[in-house]
Amino acid sequence: MILVAVVVQVLAGASVGQPTDAAGADIVATYDFSPHLLTSEEITQKSQLLDAFWKRAEADPASYVPALRHALRLPDSSPFFLYDGSMLLLRLSDTEPDRKSALAAIARCDLRDVQSTAYLRSVHRLAVAGENTTAAALHVLQDPEFQAFIPQHVLTLGQDYSLVYMLLPTDPKFWLQPAVERLRTEKDATAQRSLLLLLWYAQESSGDAALLGFATDLSKPEENRAYAEELLSRNKDPRRLSMPTAMSQTDEVLRAERRETMRRLSDEALIELDRLTMKIAAKRR
């Protein structure tokens, strides 16, 4: 469970719907706040309450797992519970249906209540498990300041590469078209750049078309239009594409190797990502 030390007061009236049993009532009573509205002192107090709640749930999964599943589906669930409750559910029942339920809930959480690194790691783990992380990954586009830090590799990932990491381990059929559609309507400049980078890494015709359409759309920010053009130019740069070894591997093999590479959160993996992406680009010429 992750609390963020920020400012002010408890959010009054937050709920997760009407409880149907003792475990449901415990959820409602516990998650009656939003961490980003708390003082440091209140954060400490709530952390202790959450620790106790998790221990009760871990001691009685037969009662708490169904209650968590129910509460995570409710439309009026506490935004913080949507993330923290999902993490608890997966601690108690890491099954395919529960992973899908958790991802649906995570995509509705308030990012101000969650540490960015924890969010990235959680969604990335589910991407590695083969789940459709599209909604949860695109959720970070709401936060231009989203940034994760991987201390083992002294690696800082901004919104752009966090998005890439949460999606590239999965099948592009999950995220490619949603990303193309999101780029058409996205107004935030930071989110636009993140989507442009993702679609370049896709190395698919629909992604290329989206990049070209953005680059030639005079209503888009000039700086981002230039960025789209620069990304497209990488696919034609002979210095980048002089990779004869790429010809000995099929496109399918290269893409599978790239998905495997993106299972690792490291700077070395990002270097390998670019190497494999340029091999795919060379293959597509």
Whether 12 and 105 share a structural domain: yes
Query: Has residue 219 been placed in a domain?
Result: yes
C-alpha 245 chain-centroid distance = 33
- Domain-terminating residue out of 114, 142, 172: 114
**Rounded-to-integer distance, Cα 6 and Cα 112, Å:** 9
pTM: 0.90
The pLDDT-based confidence of 61 (bands split at 50, 70, 90) is: very high
pLDDT tens per residue, range 64-119: 999 999 999 999 999 999 999 999 999 999 999 999 999 999 999 999 999 999 99
Q: Which residues contact 229 (CB under 8 A, 6 or more apart)?
A: 215
Pair 109, 145 in one domain: no
Confidence at residue 8, expressed as pLDDT on a 0 to 100 scale: 30
**Mean confidence (pLDDT) of the chain:** 91
- 108-148 per-position pLDDT tens digit: 999 999 999 999 999 999 999 999 999 999 999 999 999 99
- 100 and 138: one domain? no
Q: Determine the 3-state secondary structure of 20 from DSSP.
A: coil
Asked if residue 119 is part of any domain, the answer here is: no
Task: Please give the average per-residue pLDDT across 49-54, as a whole number.
Answer: 98
| Pair (176, 283) in one structural domain | yes
Verify that 163 and 36 share a domain, yes or no. no
- Final residue of a structural domain among 114, 141, 162: 114
Last-in-domain residue among 114, 149, 181: 114
What value does the mean pLDDT take over residues 191-206? Answer: 98
- When pLDDT is averaged across residues 37-63 and rounded to a whole number, the result is 97
Local structure of residue 264 (DSSP, 8 states): S
Residues 98 and 136 in one domain: no
122 assigned to some structural domain: no
Q: Give the count of beta carbons closer than 10 Å to the beta carbon of residue 165.
A: 27
By residue range, what is the domain housing residue 208? 131-285
Q: Is residue 123 part of a domain?
A: no
Rounded (10°) angle between helices 159-167 and 116-128: 20
Residue 12: per-residue pLDDT? 32
For residues 55 and 141, membership in a common domain is answered with no
What band does 236 get if pLDDT is binned at 50, 70 and 90? confident
Count of structural domains, the chain: 2
